[in-house]
Amino acid sequence: MQTENNILTDSYKREHSYLRISLIERCNLRCTYCMPEHGIPLSPRSHIMTYEEIYQIASTFVRNGVTKIRLTGGEPLIRKDIGVILKKLASLNVELSITTNAILVDRFIETLKENGIRNINASLDSLDAEKFKHITRRNDFKRAFDNIHLLVKEGFNVKLNVVLIKGFNENEIIDFINLTKDWPIVVRFIEFMPFNGNKWDMSKLVSYASIMDCAFKAFSKTNIIRLKDAPNDTSKNYKVSNYKGNFAIISTVTNPFCDSCNRLRLTANGQLKNCLFSSEENDLLTQLRAGKSIEGVIQKSVLMKKKIRNGMNTNKSFSNEKRHSKNRSMIAIGG
């Protein structure tokens, strides 16, 4: 049970029960908002957590109150020991889920089921094959789309993550919402966020307000139902009347949700990040390999967490490129 003195409670009394673990820095796609054009320097293999170390660290978090773990990458399914990792983490008393680009997911349907994974976030930023090729720098649209459909048919709870970028895919908002007519999925529109090397600026932002304006014009306000958000939810959730699925908006830029944040992030090389936008990290892996307790390091990181977006509480400060240049690229954070 969480208490006021729990190592996962920060100075604003936010209790952190959700851990996102990046398994790998590599990916089989090269999405422009995630990976810089010329890639990133990869950590030496010896610096990447082994499956035993992932399990040890995760166990410490679960002991202290984490109830949900999401596995991310890069692309987690390209890690060769993914099956072992899933089996180890599935033995913990925790809700286990995964984020994937879906390129390889058909190979792991039974593995996912065997380890109790029912909730899957899949990334797909366009329903147009040429646009998909442009943003991912790979020609794998059909494979990704078919595998997302396969997940739906196999009964997984699928959330489809769509990063919106002005001038690129904002004209597909209605097409994505229409997927929810027959598919019992949640399409989540994500405001384009700044990370090192992704050439972000505010002019490329498709805001929460503009997404809703688009939806209201297409379906009318009377046909769009505002759903109740789950506790600690990052998204504002909606449904078109009589559609099987839902749609949602993650408005990190224009309407941040930091006051209810319960998330911590562990990078593939064992660094703990207390905020997606923080360049400051705390080294758990070196401490673990030295045979020392990592709980003090965890508590230090949690207590350092700032109230809003690592201290960037205005659009002016958030738009300052220098505030993001020392942070990792998204591919090395894991989302």
More confident residue, 35 or 216: 216
Is residue 207's pLDDT more than 60? Answer: yes
96 pairs with which residues across the strands? 69
Q: How much of the chain exceeds pLDDT 90, in percent?
A: 73
User: Cα–Cα distance between 322 and 330 in angstroms, integer?
Assistant: 16
Fold of 18-333: TIM Barrel (3.20.20)
Residues 236-259: what's their mean pLDDT?
A: 92
Q: For tokens 């230090």, what's the residue?
A: 300
Contact predicate 192/206, CB 8 Å: yes
99 pairs with which residues across the strands? 121
Structure tokens at 73: 């990458």
Structure tokens at 40: 């990133």
Domain ranges of the chain: 18-333
Contact predicate 180/243, CB 8 Å: yes
Half-sphere exposure of 110 (CA within 13 A, CB side): 1
Question: For 154-174, what is each residue's pLDDT tens digit?
Answer: 999 999 999 999 999 999 999
* 50-54, 122-126, 277-281, 320-324, range with the lowest pLDDT: 320-324
Residues 269-287: what's their mean pLDDT?
A: 92
User: Cα–Cα distance between 215 and 212 in angstroms, integer?
Assistant: 5
- Angle value at C-alpha 6, between 3 and 9, nearest 5 degrees: 95
Q: Name the pLDDT band for 72 (thresholds 50, 70, 90).
A: very high
Calculate the average pLDDT of the chain: 90
Q: What is the pLDDT of residue 204?
A: 82
pTM score above 0.85: yes
Q: What is the pLDDT of residue 3?
A: 45
Q: What is the pLDDT of residue 330?
A: 64
Distances (CA, A) of 295 to 52, 99, 137, 288: 17, 26, 41, 10
DSSP state of 19: E
Q: Name the pLDDT band for 117 (thresholds 50, 70, 90).
A: very high
Is residue 260's pLDDT more than 80? Answer: yes
* 79-88, 226-235, 326-335, range with the lowest pLDDT: 326-335
Q: What is the pLDDT of residue 329?
A: 64
3-state secondary structure of 243: coil
Half-sphere exposure of 233 (CA within 13 A, CB side): 12
User: Cα–Cα distance between 236 and 247 in angstroms, integer?
Assistant: 9
| Pairing between β-strand 271-273 and β-strand 68-72 as defined by DSSP bridges | unpaired
- Which helix (DSSP H) or strand (DSSP E) does residue 315 occupy? helix 315-318
User: Cα–Cα distance between 98 and 84 in angstroms, integer?
Assistant: 14
Is residue 199's pLDDT more than 70? Answer: no
Q: What is the pLDDT of residue 2?
A: 44
Q: What is the DSSP secondary-structure string of 90-158?
A: HTSSSEEEEEE-SSSGGGGHHHHHHTT--EEEEE---SSHHHHHHHHSS--HHHHHHHHHHHHHTT-EE
Nearest in space to 21 (alpha carbons), one of 73, 60, 81: 73
* 52-56, 270-274, 310-314, range with the lowest pLDDT: 310-314
Is residue 123's pLDDT more than 70? Answer: yes
Q: What is the pLDDT of residue 252?
A: 82
